Amino acid sequence: MRIEFDRDTCIGMFQCVYEWESFKRDEHAGKAILEGADEVEPDRFVLEVPEGEEFNAEMAARVCPVDAITLYDDGEQLIP
């Protein structure tokens, strides 16, 4: 499972932070940080979800009010 985080779209509501510990608050920027992710394009981050953390990653993607978090499983888009 792969997670993509569009930091440009993120509006810093921080719901994701409560769902998955890989998302951290960047209060200064008013945006979340996806820890351990690679920046594949400016402000676009990708991370392979570690085994056992899929549910939390899914919850983080579901609660984002602006769909800044996208989840893929086997190349297929799951959320949003």
Q: Which amino acid, residue 20? A: W
Q: Is 37 in contact with 7 (CB distance < 8 Å)?
A: no
The residue among 19 and 74 lying less far from ligand SF4, judged by its C-beta, is 19
Binding of ligand SF4 at residue 46 (CB under 6 A)?
A: no
Nearest distance from C-beta of residue 1 to ligand SF4, angstroms:
17
- The binding track of 2-41 with respect to ligand SF4, each residue x by CB under 6 A or -, is --------xxxxxxx------x--------x---------
- Please compute Rg for the chain using Cα positions: 11
Q: Which amino acid, residue 47? A: L
